[in-house]
A and B are shown apart, each in its own frame.
Chain A
């Protein structure tokens, strides 16, 4: 079945550092890919998405490119801030799944130190 694998956390960085959180997937169909973010004490919110190969999603300085050849959707940001501290979830939705269910990664906790 479909699956999503994320790098284990926590990831601890200093402010203004470059961020990469790795995400790889397996899917039998034609997935759309997502990054969600969960700030402390809140629900998840969509950060960015990409619906086909080579698409780049971007939002709030974060970017991720849908790489079909490496089945990856790594999240990057050039200069992180303390306010980026959160848990980040990679997810996919396979269009061959009639219910369009989201398959979630385990989440990666990001800690940014001032």
Chain B
């Protein structure tokens, strides 16, 4: 079975540019999570979807960040405009059964560098 697939794996962009990160969750999983990881702040939950509906977006840092899940097999995280402080590794994770088990399956991450 394929795991969680994220793209791109690496993105280097200039301040002010739009960045779109993509995620394909594991088939049959109905919960999807976007996390951000930095040395300074560790692992932060940005947003959580259940059955394609955003349930908790309290971790989204500001209006420059937006996330969508148009169907069960695809989600995007968009940053517009990007800033150097957005540089981080962004992880997508999926989970079965509304995340009840606490068992998340992570993708390999998208490393974003904003110059």
Q: How many residues of chain A get a CB closer than 8 Å to chain B's CBs? A: 21
Q: Determine if A100 is an interface residue (Cβ-Cβ < 8 Å).
A: yes
Q: Which residues of A contact B4 (CB under 8 A)?
A: 43
Asked if residues A106 and B104 are in contact (CB atoms below 8 Å), the reply is: no
Q: Which residues of A contact B109 (CB under 8 A)?
A: 42-43
Contact (A99, B99) CB under 8 Å given A43-B91, A44-B106: yes
Q: Determine if B77 is an interface residue (Cβ-Cβ < 8 Å).
A: no
Q: Determine if A89 is an interface residue (Cβ-Cβ < 8 Å).
A: yes
Q: Which residues of A contact B42 (CB under 8 A)?
A: 104, 106-107
Asked if residues A43 and B48 are in contact (CB atoms below 8 Å), the reply is: no
Q: Which of B43, B45, B109 has the most CB of A within 10 A?
A: B43
Q: Determine if A64 is an interface residue (Cβ-Cβ < 8 Å).
A: no
Q: Determine if B67 is an interface residue (Cβ-Cβ < 8 Å).
A: no
Q: Which residues of A contact B104 (CB under 8 A)?
A: 36, 44, 46, 102
Q: Which residues of B contact A92 (CB under 8 A)?
A: 102
Asked if residues B102 and A102 are in contact (CB atoms below 8 Å), the reply is: yes
Q: Chain B's nearest CB lies how many Å from the CB of A107?
A: 6
Q: Which residues of A contact B48 (CB under 8 A)?
A: 99, 101
Q: Which residues of B contact A106 (CB under 8 A)?
A: 42
Q: Determine if A93 is an interface residue (Cβ-Cβ < 8 Å).
A: yes
Per the bound structure, the CA–CA distance linking A22 and B68 in Å amounts to 38
Q: Which of A80-113 contact B (CB under 8 A)?
A: 89, 91-93, 99-102, 104, 106-107
Q: Which residues of A contact B106 (CB under 8 A)?
A: 43-45
Q: Determine if A74 is an interface residue (Cβ-Cβ < 8 Å).
A: no
| A28-42 vs B, Cβ < 8 Å mask (1 yes, 0 no) | 000010101000011
Chain B residues near A (Cβ < 8 Å):
4, 42-43, 45, 48, 55-56, 91, 93, 98-109
Given contacts A93-B101, A101-B99, 8 further A-B pairs with CB under 8 A are: A36-B104, A42-B109, A43-B108, A46-B103, A89-B43, A99-B55, A102-B102, A107-B42
